[in-house]
Amino acid sequence: MEQRRTRPPYNARRRGTPPASLPPQARRTTDAGRPARGAERAGRRVRAARPVPPGARPPAGPPTGRLAGLRLTGLGSGLFCSALMFLLGLLDELLFGASLTLYGVLFLPVCVLTALWVRDGDVLTAPVVVPIAFAVGLFPVSEDGGGLLGRLLGLVTGLATQAGWLYGGTLAAGVLVLTRRVLWVRARRYARG
């Protein structure tokens, strides 16, 4: 028994070409066949740009280089911070004989960099991932008491003795993150009007 098609035949207009009823600036497409950046907003009323309030960061312009506008997501900041602290822990173990003080000093700029490099929407994840990264990087630096249990005891001892560096780095990340968040919320509220 033959069944009739219930779907309309394939239409090339569905693939990304905007319908002809849109204005000419919305019908432009990129090289990949997708609608141009402004094509989705065609037909909507666009508000004039408002000046940036004092103390707020102006909206980011187009990136000038490949990495100019790069920001980390929450998960990306956790992976970045953990991997960097693990590598710094390995370097500390190899070059300086597992100096816990040096490891703590190296932790502070990593906290600041993580708090500044995470994107605005995920900025509150930085103070959470920083202590986890401290523990991950402390694993190669901690004293080896023989076997897995000895390594875990060395890790706990390292966390207890280096708590000042851990709290200092987490506090620095928290202050930067809260400042960025307040400025971001204020700029969004001001842009809404």
The residue extents of the domains of the chain are: 94-192
Residue with tokens 């370097």: 91
Give the three-state DSSP class for 20.
coil
Q: Please indicate whether residue 134 or residue 23 has the higher confidence score (pLDDT).
A: 134
pLDDT of residue 148: 82
H helices within 29-162, ranges in order? 74-96, 100-117, 126-141, 147-161
pLDDT tens for 156-176 read 988 999 999 999 999 999 999
Distance CA 36, CA 39 (A): 5
Got the DSSP string for 114-128? HHHHB-GGGGGGHHH
Q: Please indicate whether residue 41 or residue 89 has the higher confidence score (pLDDT).
A: 89
pLDDT tens for 68-127 read 567 888 899 999 999 999 999 999 999 988 889 999 999 999 999 999 999 888 888 999
* pTM confidence score: 0.62
Residue with tokens 């590598």: 87
**Rounded mean pLDDT, 35-59:** 56
Identify the band that residue 32 occupies on the pLDDT scale cut at 50, 70 and 90. low
pLDDT tens for 136-153 read 999 888 877 778 888 888
